[in-house]
Amino acid sequence: MSHCIDLRRALHRHPEAGFTEFFSTSLAATELSRQGWTLHLGQELYETARLGVPEQPVLEAALERARAAGADPVHLERMAGGYTGLIATMQRETGPTVTLRFDLDCVEVQEDLDVPWKSLTPGLMHACGHDGHTAVGIELARRLSELPWTGRVNLVFQPAEEGVRGGSIFSQSSLLQGTDYFLSGHLGITNDAEDTLYSTVSHSMNTSKWDLTIKGESVHATLYPRQGINALLAAADLVVELYRLPDNDQTQLNVGTLTAGTGRNVVAGEAKLRAETRGSSRESHDRLNQAFGETCREMERRHGVRISQTLAGEAIYSPPHPELCALAAGQAEAAGLRSEPKPYPMMGSEDAFYFIDRVHREGGQGAYFIFGTAIRAPHHNPMFDFNEAILEKMVSFYTALTRELLSALRR
């Protein structure tokens, strides 16, 4: 079994949700430090504010799990407070700069797989394949450290892709200034019988994640029903009105959770919602978000409640650069991948496009790939798993493409 698969299984045993990736970051940092990479981690990477940070008890429990799993205490100290993630850099003389990004976090799912590397943490599972992405990034670092090239390589191990919270932060790092080429991708998705490289994607959605708190006033439900302010009633009305907002196929909205009240004979004094908006263009998404906020204000007037609306995550879409995608397609066969020229319609959302947007604005080129392979169950399912043979092919592909990009500046 390859070292890359060993790494993936170690990461799978210790899944960590967004901004709690202490073990995963430490494992990557330990491996890359042996290979001569310059490491940057902790608060120095957070040049903009975080969204959707877990509460302190959650952070502390995750830190202690990582410590018990053998994470480096020096790394843990630098990440205290949830400042997880890593940017590793290597500079050799002068030349182009290539940045590659790999996501670290897991999904809040209880694993049902019965495998020796099953999750050791109840309620958390690598049900999206990010354990594979991280393992590929670590193995890529080793390969590149042993091969000749000139220029600069940045390897970004990003926290909190789930909920699209980490990309907006890490993409703005000053360490990535001057990136000529940006590469990232996702394994699985398509359940292809033959391992396939989709060298470009389309239809990724702009998205915002919202946490809402509705404040009313609790009273006895029978004695004083008209003296209370029913937050649950306001929340139910709000949900119905929100679902009226998407007006075409260009926008989507979902309310994922609604919790309210303390007892059957109490007018609910508080309700909480978690919702998301999506749009196929930034313009349509902005209009939906504006209507979302206006609807919240209307519910305040209608029911006499107070509604706080907090942004918990967001992502944009920036189309990959066609020239870079075409160059990448030429590396597929040598890596053992079938090349698919048609763009893959992602439909979901992915915060790697923040990196692509920045690189394009600064004159570089960015691409996002799908590495189609057999999966046991859909992503985010308790039985999710993937064909681990794809990992070596991804490493080979990224290694060859990175060295090709470093050999000559193509923009």
CATH of the domain at 138: 3.40.630.10
In this structure, which amino acid lies at residue 350? E
Residues 357, 301 share a domain: no
* Cβ atoms 75, 41 nearer than 8 A: yes
Task: Quickly state the pLDDT bin for 408 (edges 50, 70, 90).
Answer: low
Residues contacting 350, CB < 8 A, separation 6+: 161, 164, 167, 186, 204, 315, 368
Residues 365, 224 share a domain: no
316-357 confidence digits (pLDDT tens)? 999 999 999 999 999 999 999 999 989 999 888 999 999 999
Residues 282, 197 share a domain: no
345-390 confidence digits (pLDDT tens)? 988 899 999 999 999 999 999 999 999 999 999 999 999 999 999 9
| Strand stretches in 188-245, DSSP E | 196-198, 201-202, 206-215
- pLDDT of 343 reads 94
What pairs with residue 271 in β-bridges? 214, 260
Residues 167, 21 share a domain: yes
Domain range for 287 is: 206-314
Residues 99, 140 share a domain: yes
CA–CA separation, 318 and 267 (whole Å):
46
- pLDDT of 225 reads 84
Residues 196, 114 share a domain: yes
Question: What H or E segment, with its residue span, contains residue 128?
Answer: none
CA–CA separation, 368 and 351 (whole Å):
11
Is 409 a residue whose pLDDT tops 60? no
Residues 329, 300 share a domain: no
Of the three residues 314, 348, 376, the one that is the final residue of a domain is: 314
Work out the mean pLDDT of the chain and round it to a whole number: 96
Using DSSP's 3-state secondary structure scheme, residue 217 falls into strand
- pLDDT of 192 reads 85
CATH of the domain at 279: 3.30.70.360
Residue with tokens 């053992």: 336
Of the three residues 274, 295, 314, the one that is the final residue of a domain is: 314
- Helix 130-146 with 389-407: angle, nearest 10 deg: 50
Residues contacting 282, CB < 8 A, separation 6+: 206, 316, 317
Residues 132, 19 share a domain: yes
Q: State how many domains the chain has.
A: 2
215-251 confidence digits (pLDDT tens)? 999 999 999 988 999 999 999 999 999 999 998 889 9
- pLDDT of 411 reads 42
Residues 133, 60 share a domain: yes
Residues 291, 195 share a domain: no
Task: Quickly state the pLDDT bin for 45 (edges 50, 70, 90).
Answer: very high
Residues 81, 51 share a domain: yes
Residues 304, 155 share a domain: no
* Paired tokens of 45: 């990477």
Of the three residues 293, 314, 335, the one that is the final residue of a domain is: 314
